[in-house]
Every structure is written in C-alpha cells, then in structure tokens.
Amino acid sequence: MNPPGSLGVLEEKEEEHLATPVLGPSIHSDNPQERIQARRLRIAARLEARRREALGEYLDGKESEEDQSKSYKQKEESRLKLAKLLLCGTELVTNIQVAADIREIHRRVEEEEIKRQRLEKLENEVKTSQDKFEEITMKWEEGKQKRIPQELWEMLNAQQVHCAGLIEDKNKLISELQQELKAKDDQYVKDLKKQSGDICLLLERMEEQVKNVMKTFRQELQHIEKAFEVEREELLTNNKKKWEQALQAHNAKELEYLMNRIKKVEDHEKQLNKQRIWDCEEYNTIKIKLEQDVQILEQQLQQMKATYQLNQEKLEYNFQVLKKRDEESTVIKSQQKRKINCLHDVLNNLRSKYNKQVKQFQEENQSLTSDYKRLVMQFKEMQKAMRHFALIDDKQFREIWLMNEEEVKDLISRAFDVDRIIHTHHLGLPWTAPDFWFLKNVGPISQQQQKSATQILEEVLMEAEEEGAEEAASEPESYLDLPKQVSAKTTRKILMLLCDESGFLVERKLLSLLLPLDKSECYLLKLDAIFSALGIESEDDLYKLVNFFLKYQAHHSPPSQERTSLVSPLEKLDPQGEKEGSLVDREPQEKQPPPSPQLIHPNDVLKILEAFVTGLRKPRDFRAPVKLLKVVRDDSKDSAYWKALTTVIPATTLNLWDALYTALEKYHLVLTQRAELLIENSSLERQNTELQQLLQQYLDSKINSELQVPPTEVFRVPTK
C-alpha cells in the first residue's frame, strides 16, 4: 500500500534530474519497479564514480589497467546493479511488512483511544446509574414512611418507572457494546482478508523478485562473459602477434648461434687432437715407469711373503707355547684357588683362635694386672717394711757397733793401762798414749751421707714455706749443715732467681705438665730439671753453686769494670741498676753479712751459670763412679777400723810383752818355787811345832807312862 505511494514521491523528485540512458531498466518504463531499479542504478553509478575518485590515489597504479580491462568495468557495473536490485527487492518485499506494522500501530492507537473512551463511558454510566440507584433506594426509605396507599402506589409507580429507566440504560449500553463487538468482528474479518491479500502480494512480489533477480543475474553473467571473451580475443590477437615477432627474432638468433657453434666445434676438435697425441705419449712413459715399479713391488712382495711365513711359523710356535702355558696357568690357578680356599679356612680358624686367644690373654692380662697391682702393693708394703727394717737395722747396727766399740775401747783402755803399767812399772819407761783417729771415732763410719741436690732443694723450699708460715721462728737447727754463713733465705732466693731465669733449660713438655701444679711443686720440679741439665747432683754442688753466686756477686758487683770486656753493652747499664738495687737493699745487706741475691741482676744469672758450669765440669768427671757406692753402705773401712782397733798395740810392744812375759813367767816360777818352799818351810815348822806339842802331850800323857814302850822313846829311836 504505502511503499508505492511513498516511493512515488521519490520518483517524481528523481525525474527532476537528468534522465540518463541506462543499459538495463529505463526510468521511463511503465513498471514502477523497473523505474526504481533504474534510479538505483544511476545512483550507484554516481556513487561508484565518487568512490573511484576517492580510491584513485592508492589505486592509481591499477587505474591504467582498469581503463583497459573492460571485463573489470563490466563486473563492477554488474555488481552494483545487482546489489541495487537486491536492495530494492528486499525493500519492496519488506515494505509490506512495514505497512502492516504501521497499520497495526495505528490500529493499536485507535484501539487504545476507543478503549479509553469506552472505559470513560462505562465509568460515567456506572456513576449515573449509581446515582439513580441511590435515588431509588432513598425513595424506598421514603416509601416506608408513607401511610396513604394512594401515595404509596404513586411512589411505587414512580419507582418502577425509574427502575425501568435504569435497566433501559443498561440495556442500551449492552447493545452498544455488542454492536461494537460486531463491528470489531467485521473489522477482524476485514483485517484477515486484507492480511491474506497482503500475504498474496508478498508472495507475488517475492516470486517476481526472484524471477527478476535471476533474469538480471543471467543477463549480467552474459554481459560479463561477453566482456571477458572480447578481452580474451584481443589478448589472443595481441599475443599472437607478439609471439610471431618473437619467433622470428628467435630463429635469426638461433641461426647465428648455430654458426658460432660450428666454428667453436672445429676449434675444439683441433685442440682435442693435440691433446690426444700429447696424452698418448705421456701415457706410454708413465706406463713403462709403472711397470718397473710393479716389478720392484712384486719382488718386495715375495720377500714380504717369506718373512711373513717365517713370522707365521714363529707365531704359531709361540702360540702353542702360550697355549701350553695357559693350560698350566689354569691348572696352577685352580690349585691356587684351592690353596686360597684352604688358606681361607685356615685363616678363619686362626682368626677364631686368635680371637679366643685375645680373649684369653685379655683375661690373663686382667688377672696379671690384678696380680701386678697386688704385687705392687705387696712390694710397697715390703719396701715400707724394708725401710722400716733398714732403719731398725741401722739402729741395731749402730747400737751393736757402739756396744762393740765400747767393749773394744774398754779393752783398748785396759790394754793401754796394761801397757802403761808395764812401761812404767815393769820397764821403767815413760809411756805415751798413742793417738789414733779411730780412737776418737764414735758410731759407724761414713755416716755423713751426702744429700742429693734435689733433697736439699726440697728442704730449702719446704723451709721457705715453713718460714712463710712461722716467720717468727728463728732459723732452724737443721740448717746447721748448710755451709757457713749461707742462709736458707738467700739460697732460696738464689734458687728462685735461677728458676725464673733459666726456664729455657726446662723441657717444654714438662712446662705444660707443670701448669696445673702448685707453685712450690712447680719450682721444685723446674729446679730439678735445671739441675739435671746443669749437672748439679749433690748437695755440695748446690752449695758450690750458691757460693759461686755469692762470690761472683761479691767479686763483680762493685768492680764491674773488671769484666767490662766480657760484659755485653746491655750489661753496662746493669751496674747502675744494681747500684740502685743495692742502695735500696742497703739495710738488709747490713743485716745479712752475705750479699743479698737480690743484688744479682737477673741478666747476670746466665753468665754466672756459664762460669759455674765450666768450673764444675772437671770435678764432675771423677765423681761419677763414687756415686754408685753411695747407695750401699760402705763397709770396707769397717774391717780396717776394726783391724786397726785390734792393732792398737803395736807388734813391738807385743814382742816386748812376750819377752816380758817369759821373763816374768820365769820369775814367777822362781817366785812360786820360793813360795812353795816357804810354804813347805812354814808347814814343816808348824809340823815341828805340832809334833813337839804332840810329843810333849804324849810325853806328858799318863798313857805313855802306862805303855810298855812309850812313843817318846820310838821317836827317839827313828830320830837316832
């Protein structure tokens, strides 16, 4: 409906433009669609021109070709034409839908309006009818108050009329609505028809469009094909011409090449011939040479073969030998293996045994160590006992010694007495008491055991400690044996100094071991080491040393110039220091006659030691064996002593004594004889007297008288 109308306006407008003749549909045709197409095409052509202008810049390279190629132009044209056609066609077809749409919109708008009006109307109606109804109901109230039937009747009639009016109104409304509904129904039917018409139109247009499009497509296709063919023919002719020209040129050139080639071939043939001859000669010479070489090589080959065979035989022999050896070695190997196995077994056994033994020995070791410990204990005990016994023995020995000595001395004194008596009384000689050293001796010989240096040290140090403990206590008596005026303090100080200064003599190991020990013990051990290094062993050495120090000090401190030659320049400074020290220590020096060891400068210590060691060297040599005897008590002198004791009386005196003895014996004998004789005499005298008495008695006695013969008469007889 609409599209033709609306487009009709466009058409008129279009007609104002110049009517340009178009190939396809003309503007002046009767068919409106064709006209539309024509116009579209025109517009497209214009647009295309504009577009080309726009694209001209970057397509200018192509433009020359474009101008030439008809086919391209044709294609572009057709494309645009067809695009227009399609666009128009779709527009044409969709126009119907759009028209339907707008109709629908109109309808809807109208419908809405009508609906609104209807609703308004209905609302009004409701209002009025409500009013009327209320009026009627009001009247009912009134009617109830009415008493007069006539009035009531009138009122009822009026009410009836009112009600009828109300109902009539309603009915009217209903009929109106029903009419509307009918009209709508009619409208609906009309719309349906219209729509079916539209659809028919739509189908028609679509079909037409399809036909149209197909037709135009075909036409365009033909146009394009024609254009292509024309172009192709042109191209063909052009190319043919070109081809022929090129062919002719080619032929000419070919001929030229051929001639050139023939010439060249001839040249080459000549060259080849020359080359061939030359090659032949060369070949012959080379051949001869090579044959000679071959002969030489064959000879060499023969030689090589001979050597080869020789070698082969040798190698075979070697191979055989090696094989045999291999076999042997395998046998040996197996044997060795077996042996190894056996040895392994043995080894294992031994190992087990070894382990057992280790265990056993460990046990034994343990038992032995325990035994050893026990023995050591026993030994210590034994030592203790031994020491005890030694002491006791010593004591006993001493006692016995003293006893014997006493006895001997007794005897000797008696002997001396005797001798003196003999000399004085018997011989009338003056007696002088013999003066022997052993006579003064009391106690065992060689009791003065030399103490070792260390012992002394110990003592000294202990002393020092004790001193430290009890300062008040005066110098102990035990130090009586210290030589001369050297005090314990000075010795100690000297030793301390020595210890501090000559640390280099101590072994390093010892130093490390000493660290944890006491100060005093440390000193002791250090000094021990130093002394062993210096060769100081005995007490005497020690005292010598101390004395040496003191003397050195005494000698060198005041006149330090004496040894300036020996003293190092460093020591030159010492005197002053020493002097200062001496100044400081003046007071102690006064107290103690020996110069204080503090005066000895530490730097001098080494010198002193050096001097001391050089001095000590000689005596030390012969003293070495003596040292061995010291251990056992020396009893060589004992026998001499005792012997000497026996020979207190010399042999001459003894001889004298013997002679004296014999003389005295003789004398004694004489004396005894005399005595005997005297005794005999006396006895005889007494016998005489007695006999006299008896006689007298007898004589005197009555018996006698009685007796025939009286005794007195016998007597007289023997005696006569």
116 near another protein, judged by CB under 8 A? no
**Smaller CB separation from another protein, 104 or 417:** 104
Contact between 13 and another protein (CB under 8 A)?
yes
Return the number of the residue (3 or 25) whose C-beta is nearest another protein.
3
Transcribe 14-55 into DSSP letters.
HHHS-----SSS-TTSS-HHHHHHHHHHHHHHHHHHHHHHHH
First to last CA, the chain: 254
Q: Does 79 bind another protein (CB under 8 A)?
A: yes
322 belongs to the binding site for another protein (CB under 8 A)? no
Which amino acid appears at position 288 of this protein? I
Does residue 532 touch another protein according to CB under 8 A? no
Please pick, from the candidates 26, 69, 187, 603, the single residue that binds another protein as defined by CB under 8 A.
69
Tell me the CB-side half-sphere exposure of residue 139, using CA atoms within 13 A.
Answer: 19
Q: Which stretch, 100-108, 341-349, 416-424, 709-717, contacts another protein (CB under 8 A)?
A: 100-108
Contact present, 48 and 81 (Cβ < 8 Å): no
Residue 104 engages another protein in binding (rule: CB under 8 A): yes
**CA 99 – CA 176 distance, rounded (Å):** 31
Q: Which residue type sits at 375?
A: L
Question: Site for another protein (CB under 8 A): which residue of 27, 36, 44, 600?
Answer: 44
| Other beta carbons less than 10 A from residue 275's beta carbon | 11
Residue 666 binds another protein, judged by CB under 8 A: no
Residue 47 is a binding residue for another protein (CB under 8 A): yes
Does the protein bind another protein through residue 9 (CB under 8 A)? yes
Please, which residues have CB within 8 angstroms of residue 40's CB and are 6 or more apart in sequence?
84, 85, 87, 88
Among 36, 80, 524, 527, binds another protein (CB under 8 A): 80
Stretch that binds another protein, among 21-29, 58-66, 341-349, 455-463 (CB under 8 A): 58-66
Q: How far is CA 663 from the centre of its chain?
A: 114
70 binds another protein (CB under 8 A): no
Residue nearer to another protein on the CB measure, 112 or 267: 112
Round to whole Å and give the CA distance between 183 and 217: 49
Question: Where does residue 81 rank: exposed (0-12), middle (13-18), buried (19+ CB within 10 A)?
Answer: buried
CB of 98 to another protein, least distance (A): 5
* Rounded-to-5 percentages of helix, strand, coil across the chain: 85, 0, 15
**Closer to another protein by Cβ: residue 13 or 190:** 13
Q: What does DSSP assign to residue 593?
A: S
CA distance 549 to 494: 8
55 binds another protein (CB under 8 A): yes
Of the candidate residues 62, 374, 387, 395, the single one contacting another protein (CB under 8 A): 62
Q: H helices then E strands: how many in the chain?
A: 19, 0
> Which of 67, 101, 381, 580 is in the footprint of another protein by CB under 8 A?
101
* Shortest CB 6 distance to another protein, Å: 7
- Structure tokens, 522: 């440390």
Amino acid at 463: E
CB 125, min distance to another protein, A: 27
Q: Determine if 125 is a binding residue for another protein (CB under 8 A).
A: no
Our finding on whether 102 is near another protein (CB under 8 A) is yes
Residues in contact with another protein, shown as a per-residue x/- string from 211 to 230 under the rule CB under 8 A: ------x--x----------
Q: Does 76 bind another protein (CB under 8 A)?
A: yes
Report in angstroms how near the CB of residue 104 gets to another protein at its nearest.
Answer: 6
Q: How far is the CB of 208 from another protein (least distance, A)?
A: 20
Q: Which among 42-50, 308-316, 380-388, 583-591 is the span making contact with another protein, rule CB under 8 A?
A: 42-50
Q: Which is nearer to another protein, 105 or 659 (CB)?
A: 105
Q: Name the one range near another protein by CB under 8 A: 43-51, 243-251, 597-605, 707-715.
A: 43-51
Candidates 25, 27, 38, 71: give the one binding another protein (CB under 8 A).
71
Q: Which of residues 23, 59, 306, 310 is near another protein by CB under 8 A?
A: 59
Measured distance CA(344)–CA(346) in Å, rounded? 5
- Least distance from another protein to the Cβ atom of residue 75, Å: 6
514 binding another protein? (CB under 8 A): no
37 binds another protein (CB under 8 A): no
Q: In b/e form, how buried is each residue of 417-431, taking b as 16+ CB within 10 angstroms?
A: eebbebbeeeeeeee
- Smallest distance, another protein to C-beta of residue 140, A: 39
Asked if 99 is part of the footprint of another protein (rule: CB under 8 A), the reply reads: yes
Check residue 72 for interaction with another protein (CB under 8 A): yes
Point out which span in 68-76, 310-318, 356-364, 452-460 binds another protein (CB under 8 A): 68-76
Among 105, 230, 272, 651, binds another protein (CB under 8 A): 105
Q: Does 522 bind another protein (CB under 8 A)?
A: no
User: What residues from 361 to 420 belong to the interface with another protein (CB under 8 A)?
Assistant: none
Give the C-alpha distances (Å, rounded to integers) separating 199 from 190, 196, 208, 280: 14, 5, 14, 107
- The distance of closest approach from Cβ of residue 255 to another protein in the complex, given in angstroms and rounded to an integer, is 40
**Residue 196 binds another protein, judged by CB under 8 A:** no
What residues contact 71, with CB distance under 8 A and at least 6 apart? 224, 227, 228, 231
How many chain residues touch another protein (CB under 8 A)? 40
Q: Is residue 694 within the footprint of another protein (CB under 8 A)?
A: no
Count of Cβ atoms closer than 10 Å to residue 456 Cβ: 24
Task: Say which amino acid occupies 327.
Answer: E
From the list 646, 627, 645, 641, the residue with the least C-alpha distance to 445 is 641
Nearer to another protein, 55 or 375 (CB): 55
Cβ-based nearer residue to another protein, 129 or 219 = 219
Query: Which residue, 133 or 217, has its beta carbon nearer to another protein?
Result: 217
DSSP string, 291-325: HHHHHHHHHHHHHHHHHHHHHHHHHHHHHHHHHHH
Q: Which lies closer to another protein via its Cβ, residue 207 or residue 256?
A: 207
Contact 475, 487 (CB under 8 A): yes
Side-chain-side CA neighbours of residue 710 (13 Å): 16
**DSSP structure string for 176-232:** HHHHHHHHHHHHHHHHHHHHHHHHHHHHHHHHHHHHHHHHHHHHHHHHHHHHHHHHH
Least Cα distance to 436 among 418, 414, 416, 419 occurs for 416
Name which of 650, 646, 654 is nearest 408 in CA terms: 646
How far apart, in whole angstroms, are the C-alpha atoms of residue 485 and residue 480? 10
Chosen residue from 24, 34, 45, 75 binding another protein by CB under 8 A? 75
Contact residues for 599 (Cβ-Cβ < 8 A; gap 6+) = 553, 557, 578, 581, 582, 585, 589
Lookup: tokens for 222: 């033909």
The nearer residue to another protein, 66 or 169, going by C-beta atoms, is 66
Name which position in 107, 108, 380, 572 contacts another protein (CB under 8 A).
Answer: 108
**Residue closer to another protein, measured from CB, 221 or 510:** 221
Confirm or reject binding of residue 554 to another protein (CB under 8 A).
no
Strands (E), 528-666: none
Of the ranges 103-111, 235-243, 345-353, 605-613, which one interacts with another protein (CB under 8 A)?
Answer: 103-111
* Spatial distance between the Cα atoms of 34 and 25, rounded to a whole number of angstroms: 5
Quick check: helix, strand or coil at residue 648?
coil
Applying CB under 8 A, the residues found at the interface with another protein are: 2-3, 6, 9-10, 13, 43-44, 47, 50-51, 55, 59, 62, 65-66, 69, 71-72, 75-76, 78-80, 82-83, 86, 91, 94-95, 98-99, 101-102, 104-105, 108-109, 217, 220
